[in-house]
Structure 1
Amino acid sequence: MDGEKDDDLGAFDPSIPEEGPSAPPPGWLDDVHGYQGHRGGEGDDPLYPPPPAYTPQPELDKNTSVPDVRVPQVSEEVARDALLRFVESRWRFSSKPARNMSFRELRAVTVYRYRLETFCETRTSGWQFEPYNGQLVDGAEFGLSPLPWDVPVAPPQRFSDGVEKVRVPHSCIVKVCHMCSGCGRVRCNSCYGRGQKRCLICHGKGFRRKPGNHKRSGSTRCTSCHGRGRKRCLSCNGQGFKTCSVCHGSQNLLHFIQLTVTWKNNVSDFVPDRQPDFPDEKFEKVTGDPFFIDENVLVYPIRGFPDQEICDASSRLIQEHLQRFSATSRVLQQRQTIELVPLTHAFYTYSGKDFSFFVYGTENKVFTSRYPSACSVL
């Protein structure tokens, strides 16, 4: 017995089509005015917004003054508590030096942080589809589709990120399913539409040789396929076809343009490097006291602030944000702030040696590059 050929496994129904592409092929859908070139997927290329109404320039008659603020300084008790919390979070450090140290000096440092926030909106588009089951078709007969930036979409709270997906009005169209050609089902690609597959245990022979015996008389019927040499296809449950995974059997698809609106708050910080022993990146995760807040659609560069580096950073970052974001996004709002970030350099003595650490931010975090002990906590 030579075993059965694949043709003996059963014939397939030629009226059931093979699976087509999962996405509509090129040219399947017509262009819609204002959305040309955005034919599929989520749409990766941004839809260019109208130009900004104006470009900010320095206001010569407006200076930024510094209010009468006191440079924050922590007490010895606060500094000691902050250091104790710091060493408790590091198991190799002993708390004994923090408890028994003697302060020599607490030196408050004036640290200004400039922050520019640019709240932007970006829009992309792409064709999407869903099974058509008789739902309303908002097509071109109801009017022209509005241009991408004319579709009304309510933004989230200012300076917060968000994403919204909306269907472009009057962009719907019904077409037969490109996957199944309108049949509602597709040929099973596991059994090629036959509903049966060759038994892998006996290789389609229907019997298996007994161990150590190479003759036919020493064979036994395959218990996996019960001697038939073939088994029901589990992928299609023996039917030879499966319901179309694209239209779910509805035979038609409702195509529409989906507009993806993304809001993002782009933030840039600048802190003048005045403390070489303190890493500036530590300021990124702490808060300060904002004493200057300027918010507008587009803000103007700061002038007249006593720290010229802050003025220079304001002018530079505003220009950078406009160049980076205004070409592909719509700038909805900008906000610039100047914060006074607490920073105290604490000098102390322990066991006759001098050490120091920094207390920074309103959270009173601690940074130190050298600590008296690295043994187990006592």
Structure 2
Amino acid sequence: MEVPNYGMMVQPGYPINTVGANPMMPSGPNYPPAMNPAMAPGFYPSVNTNPLVPQTAPYPQFSGIPGYEGMEGEGGGKFLPPPPVVGPGPDSLPTPSNKDWTIPSISQETAKKALLDYVNGHCCYGTSPVEQMEIQQMKPFNTYRYRLETFTESRSCEWTTKPLTTNEKLDGPSNGPAPQPWEIIMEPPALFHDEIKKQPIPHTSSKKECEECHGKGKIICQKCNGNGRVKCGHCNGSGRSSGEQCSHCNGSGSEGCNGCNQTNVQTCPGCTGKGQVISYIELTVTWKNNLYEFIPDHHSEFPTDLFKKVTGDKIFVDEQLLVPPLVNFPEASINQASQTAVQQHYSQFISSCRILKQKQSIEWLPLTKVEYNWKEKSCSYFVYGRENLVETKDYPSTCCCVIL
């Protein structure tokens, strides 16, 4: 697959996302009170569990990477601005040569077979109306579905850390200047398919002391809050079970913590007990297919939502870097929808993403109202979609016991 040439763009850096840990277990009826971290065994730290208190950037002292200076010490992540779009906007492109539009329609035989399939799918529906019906009128509504798909690529970066593994080689600034986010070549997936890829930005790695445990490899046990005991699971901390003293905890309401085996501390999850981590800038590339869909008013009582269940016949497809809006389709609302969609997607994505490809299409959605008589009764039903599904509210024979 040919990889698009994104060109070289020097982009400003971006801040990092704040991180919050899970809240500590609240105290129960007989549960030991929360332990002051200063009283924790040894000098193991606790983890910041208050989501209202932001944590700082992992290692603000690691700075000086050209293009990424603004990431240190700030909160929240931002998308990187994309390189400028090559070529004119969609309004400057020529309109497609689509003067002749062929609008198909279904036959009476197709309409009857669709109703028969519908009836056969209902155990209490009789087939006599289908066999004896007299079709009075078939009203095609020439309904369409317009779609604009804009396949975009966006990039963001943030500081992150991972545990240090044995004999892992660091790719730090000494290996060369870090490339800017849009200079890194990432092969896109199949067109119009969502995907996310992450990778470290070269030459931004550094080995640092783990901030979660301050290099000790252990933290206060988050399950028992450093007490070594937790609420008894058999009596829910009440000390009594079935009206009697709980035999599991002897009425104390607490039991030994199996998260730390009553040692009061646990292995630090940030460094897996090694006390050191690798800090680096991670690039996230997001490919997304953005869809705009429009079905015009078909001037019938048919529920438009049912079209989501079916497909239509493609009567027009236009795929290019930036598609032009339609101007000469027979249905004026489709032209208006195309102009709105093209301008909306261009304005929405050109400042935050790279547009890799656009595709607009028009489907003919078969929708025919069939009016028929059976035993002097006037009835009707709709046939819709390529699948020829049926929607009806007045089928005259709904019990096989009274088929005449």
Q: TM-score scaled by structure 2? A: 0.72
The verdict on how the C-alpha distance between 1:110 and 1:27 changes in structure 2, with shifts beyond 3 A counting, is closer
Which residue type is aligned with residue 49 of structure 1?
P
- The residue that corresponds to 1:314 in the other structure is 338
Separation in structure 1 between the aligned mates of residue 287 and residue 155 of structure 2, nearest angstrom: 9
- The residue that corresponds to 1:149 in the other structure is 182
- The residue that corresponds to 2:134 in the other structure is 102
Check if 1:73 corresponds to 2:103.
Answer: no
SS at match of 1:104: strand
- The residue that corresponds to 1:64 in the other structure is 98
- The residue that corresponds to 1:323 in the other structure is 347
RMSD: 3.9
Separation in structure 2 between the aligned mates of residue 59 and residue 340 of structure 1, nearest angstrom: 25
Q: Which blocks of at least 5 consecutive residues in structure 1 are unaligned?
A: 7-11, 202-221
Check if 1:49 corresponds to 2:85.
Answer: no
- The residue that corresponds to 1:186 in the other structure is 219
Asked if 1 retains the 8 angstrom alpha-carbon contact of 2:45 and 2:214, the reply is no
Separation in structure 1 between the aligned mates of residue 128 and residue 71 of structure 2, nearest angstrom: 66
- The residue that corresponds to 2:240 in the other structure is none
**Offset of residue 315 of structure 1:** 1.4
The verdict on how the C-alpha distance between 1:27 and 1:346 changes in structure 2, with shifts beyond 3 A counting, is closer
Asked if 2 retains the 8 angstrom alpha-carbon contact of 1:21 and 1:178, the reply is no
Which residue type is aligned with residue 217 of structure 2?
G
**Offset of residue 181 of structure 1:** 0.9
Which residue type is aligned with residue 253 of structure 1?
V
The verdict on how the C-alpha distance between 1:187 and 1:341 changes in structure 2, with shifts beyond 3 A counting, is closer
**Offset of residue 13 of structure 1:** 7.9
Cα deviation 1:33-67 (Å, max 9, x = unaligned): 44456579x97532222332331115567642225
**Offset of residue 253 of structure 1:** 0.6
Asked if 1 retains the 8 angstrom alpha-carbon contact of 2:58 and 2:159, the reply is no
The verdict on how the C-alpha distance between 1:364 and 1:130 changes in structure 2, with shifts beyond 3 A counting, is same
Separation in structure 2 between the aligned mates of residue 355 and residue 101 of structure 1, nearest angstrom: 10
The verdict on how the C-alpha distance between 1:306 and 1:186 changes in structure 2, with shifts beyond 3 A counting, is closer
- The residue that corresponds to 1:136 in the other structure is 169
Cα deviation 1:92-141 (Å, max 9, x = unaligned): 75555345433223344433432211111122222221111231211111
Alignment of structure 1 residues 285-300 onto 2, 5 Å: 285-300=309-324
Separation in structure 1 between the aligned mates of residue 161 and residue 293 of structure 2, nearest angstrom: 43
Check if 1:168 corresponds to 2:168.
Answer: no
Separation in structure 2 between the aligned mates of residue 75 and residue 287 of structure 1, nearest angstrom: 21
2:156 maps to which of 110, 118, 124: 124
Separation in structure 2 between the aligned mates of residue 362 and residue 200 of structure 1, nearest angstrom: 58
Asked if 1 retains the 8 angstrom alpha-carbon contact of 2:207 and 2:278, the reply is yes
Asked if 2 retains the 8 angstrom alpha-carbon contact of 1:58 and 1:302, the reply is no
Check if 1:25 corresponds to 2:55.
Answer: yes
The verdict on how the C-alpha distance between 1:256 and 1:272 changes in structure 2, with shifts beyond 3 A counting, is same
The verdict on how the C-alpha distance between 1:162 and 1:61 changes in structure 2, with shifts beyond 3 A counting, is closer
The verdict on how the C-alpha distance between 1:195 and 1:357 changes in structure 2, with shifts beyond 3 A counting, is closer
Asked if 2 retains the 8 angstrom alpha-carbon contact of 1:359 and 1:365, the reply is yes
SS at match of 2:55: coil
Asked if 2 retains the 8 angstrom alpha-carbon contact of 1:63 and 1:302, the reply is no
Separation in structure 2 between the aligned mates of residue 327 and residue 61 of structure 1, nearest angstrom: 24
**Offset of residue 231 of structure 1:** 7.5
Separation in structure 1 between the aligned mates of residue 248 and residue 393 of structure 2, nearest angstrom: 70
**Offset of residue 252 of structure 1:** 0.3
SS at match of 1:57: helix
